[in-house]
């Protein structure tokens, strides 16, 4: 009997059970281990095995096999919390593992596919032949693409420098959108609605698919555009009106607040590593790095004080001190500052209905003999931008048009009628000098070719 029980127990797929303790005292043998009750069911005799067909073993609990298929082994189904026998564990180990087919983790790893921020593909688009074949001296001449989606005014737009078919926009409706401009399918491919107040500015990182936005909810937010998620939030005690990545280090960005704060943030530590203070600075409207990132320029709203002091200030990044706050002597607010891509100069958009030009080297003098005028700025935060080669300056206007000036001559070269409402921001394509994007106060985003 012991031999039969041991041989039968070895065929089981369960863990080996401990053998019962042998009782040597005959007085207690009948009480502790009754010999009439076997440990296992009796092993079938030879006669029974002759006339019974071979019985197919029952599949283990939690498995499923399709009778229509020819697969000899059932497919295990993972049920959390149940016991898995040795035979089933060996079967699971022998099954081939296909890529991205882990039943235990697929439901956790793939929520981003149905994320409400992911609306379309950000893969490379087929750029039209006439855009790729245009000569570098040609200028945009017509509106070719209209992008609609914002419910209120669009405050800022920006082209990606690493994925040049992607354009980002931010608006007073609290939305940040990413557009695949030349896509044959959906053009709005990402929608970030994380801000709970109007968004004032949006900027792409110089490396990868990171997008930075800031606004009236006292936060700057960093997004991973590829995954369609927000990765970091930078909180301040005031609304943030401008943000700008460092030109040489994408881990650093500068922010300007509505109460006059200027902070340099480190993305890795989520902390402000430098803070720049000037008395009565006023709301910061724009910031721009110059001199290879060693200095930066800030523009502030001086309309309340009617003084030119602090309208345009040049700062030293590392020493946290202003190098000059007497750059612009006229009592006009400058909603935008922009550096030249090749020369040591920068321009400031003035509410005096012109664009002034300054030297980026000390003593940062205003060029009194050259200015870009003809467009209208007063009353709106009108922005401007340089072409990639620096030969053209483009500006929006409160009359709804796009104005293009020759950089060296400062003369108006072309005027494009765009909107019935003010054209707030313009952005030259980082590679193609014949492509310009613009946005309007009524929520439209357009591309000129």
Phi-psi region of 144 (alpha: psi -120 to 50; beta: other; left: phi over 0): alpha
Give the pTM: 0.74
- Please give the structure tokens belonging to residue 5: 């029980």
Give the distance, in angstroms, between the CA of residue 236 and the centroid of all CA atoms in the same chain. Answer: 20
pLDDT in tens, 234-287: 999 999 999 999 999 999 999 999 999 999 999 999 999 999 988 888 899 999
Which domains, ranges and CATH numbers included, belong to the chain?
1-51 (no CATH), 127-448 (2.130.10.10)
Determine the Cα–Cα distance for residues 204 and 176; give it in Å rounded to an integer.
12
**What average pLDDT does range 27-50 have in this prediction?**
48
The contacts of residue 106 (CB under 8 Å, 6+ apart) are 100
pLDDT single digits (tens) 74-109: 444 444 455 666 666 776 666 654 444 443 333 333
Whether the CB-CB separation of 380 and 333 falls below 8 Å is answered with: no
The whole-number pLDDT of residue 44 equals 54
Backbone phi and psi for residue 109, each to the nearest 5 degrees, phi listed first:
-85, -10
Q: Sheet harboring 312-316: ordered strands across?
A: 284-290, 295-300, 312-316, 321-324
CB 170 within 8 A of CB 199: yes
CB atoms within 10 A of CB 13: 12
Q: Is 122 in contact with 209 (CB distance < 8 Å)? A: yes
The values of phi and psi at residue 448, to 5°, are: -105, 140
Whether the per-residue pLDDT at 377 is higher than 60: the answer is yes
Smallest CA-to-CA distance from 216 within 297, 155, 266 is with 155
CB atoms within 10 A of CB 124: 13
Mean pLDDT over residues 18-31, rounded?
Answer: 45
Question: What is the rounded average pLDDT of the residues 364-369?
Answer: 93
Residue 409: DSSP 8-state: T
Residue linked to tokens 């001190």 = 321
Closest C-alpha to 361, from 324, 392, 393, 332: 324
């Amino acid at each position: 009997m012991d031999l039969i029980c041991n041989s039968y127990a070895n065929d089981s797929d369960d863990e080996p059970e401990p053998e019962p303790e042998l009782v040597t005292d005959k007085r207690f043998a009948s009480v502790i281990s009754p010999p009439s009750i076997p440990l296992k069911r009796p092993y079938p005799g030879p006669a029974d095995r002759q006339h019974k067909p071979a019985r197919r073993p029952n599949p283990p609990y939690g498995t499923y096999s399709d009778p229509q298929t020819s697969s000899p082994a059932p497919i295990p189904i993972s049920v959390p919390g149940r016991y898995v026998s040795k035979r089933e564990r060996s079967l699971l180990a022998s099954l081939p593992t296909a890529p991205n087919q882990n039943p235990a983790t697929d439901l956790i790893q793939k929520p981003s596919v149905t994320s409400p921020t992911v609306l379309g593909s950000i893969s490379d688009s087929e750029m039209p032949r006439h855009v790729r074949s245009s000569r570098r001296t040609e200028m945009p001449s017509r509106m070719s693409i209209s992008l609609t989606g914002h419910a209120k005014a669009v405050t800022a737009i920006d082209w990606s420098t690493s994925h040049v078919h992607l354009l980002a926009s931010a608006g007073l409706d609290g939305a940040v959108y990413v557009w695949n401009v030349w896509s044959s399918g959906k053009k709005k491919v990402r929608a970030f609605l994380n801000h709970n107040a109007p968004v004032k500015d949006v900027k792409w990182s110089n490396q990868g698919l990171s997008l930075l936005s800031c606004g009236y909810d006292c936060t700057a937010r960093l997004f991973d555009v590829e995954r369609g998620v927000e990765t970091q939030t930078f909180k301040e005690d005031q609304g943030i009106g401008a943000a700008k990545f460092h030109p040489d280090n994408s881990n650093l960005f500068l922010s300007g607040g509505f109460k006059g704060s200027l902070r340099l943030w480190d993305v890795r530590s989520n902390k402000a590593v430098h803070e720049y203070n000037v008395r009565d600075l006023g709301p910061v409207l724009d910031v721009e790095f110059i001199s290879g990132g060693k200095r930066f320029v800030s523009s502030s709203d001086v309309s309340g004080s009617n003084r030119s002091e602090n309208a345009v200030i040049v700062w030293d990044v590392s020493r946290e001190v202003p190098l000059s706050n007497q750059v612009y002597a006229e009592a006009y607010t400058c909603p935008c500052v922009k550096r030249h891509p090749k020369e040591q100069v920068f321009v400031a958009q003035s509410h005096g209905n012109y664009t002034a030009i300054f030297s980026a080297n000390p003593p940062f003098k205003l060029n009194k003999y050259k200015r870009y005028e003809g467009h209208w700025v007063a009353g709106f935060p009108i922005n401007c931008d340089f072409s990639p080669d620096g030969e053209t300056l483009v500006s929006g206007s409160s009359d709804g048009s796009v104005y293009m000036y020759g950089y060296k001559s400062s003369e108006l070269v072309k005027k494009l009628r765009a909107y019935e409402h003010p054209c707030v921001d313009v952005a030259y394509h980082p590679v193609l000098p014949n492509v310009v994007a613009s946005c309007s106060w009524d929520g439209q985003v357009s591309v000129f070719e």
